[in-house]
Every structure is written in structure tokens, then in C-alpha cells.
């Protein structure tokens, strides 16, 4: 699985007067933020999903880096072939 986005942590207060968050220690929830159809979306994650999502985000970044490297090499080859066509014989 590959995922594009970023892992973030929501911090919020539930509003219950007797809760620990009323004193300033907010509840925390891991979440995945991503863009879909030009809009930023958020998926709240369970603790069990965090490791899987972190690994999927890392795989995406690795694949993107590999594609960027291949695209750079392709551009360099194109420039090289154009330069050799232009050079005087």
C-alpha cells in the first residue's frame, strides 16, 4: 500500500467539565491529512493504524524519489542526444 499525505496529531477538548482536557491536557488523536479533488481531507486513525500508515507514507516518498531520479536521468539523456546532434562534425 502507498499513501500520499502527512501524519498529524489532533489535539482537542471534549467539553466535559470534569475531564482532564478541561485543565489544559487535550485529547490527542493521530490523523492522516491528504489532498483529494483539490481539497484537504483528514482521516482520524486508530493507534493500530499509525505504524501501517507511516510505512505506506514512507513507501510513497521512496517511490516518488525513484521516479524523480528516473525522470532526471531521462531529461539528461535527451539533452545529451540533442547536444550531440548540434555539435559540428
pLDDT in tens, 15-72: 888 888 888 889 999 999 999 999 999 999 999 999 999 999 999 999 999 999 999 9
1 within domain boundaries: no
pLDDT of 87 strictly over 70: no
- Number of folded domains that form the chain: 1
Q: Is residue 78 part of a domain?
A: yes
More confident residue, 24 or 86: 24
Asked if the structure places residue 30 within a domain, the reply is yes
* Per-residue pLDDT band at 89 (split at 50, 70, 90): low
Residue 20 is predicted with a pLDDT of 86
Residue 88 reports pLDDT greater than 70: no
- Roughly how many angstroms between the first and final C-alpha of the chain, as a whole number? 52
Q: What's the domain range around 74?
A: 6-86
Distance CA 77, CA 72 (A): 9
Amino acid at each position: 500500500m502507498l499513501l500520499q499525505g502527512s501524519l498529524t496529531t489532533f489535539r482537542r477538548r471534549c467539553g466535559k467539565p470534569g475531564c482532564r482536557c478541561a485543565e489544559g491536557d487535550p485529547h490527542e488523536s493521530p490523523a492522516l491529512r491528504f489532498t483529494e479533488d483539490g481539497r484537504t481531507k483528514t482521516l482520524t486513525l486508530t493507534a493500530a493504524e499509525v505504524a501501517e500508515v507511516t510505512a505506506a507514507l514512507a513507501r510513497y516518498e521512496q517511490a516518488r524519489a525513484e521516479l524523480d531520479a528516473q525522470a532526471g536521468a531521462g531529461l539528461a539523456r535527451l539533452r545529451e542526444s540533442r547536444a550531440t546532434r548540434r555539435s559540428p562534425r
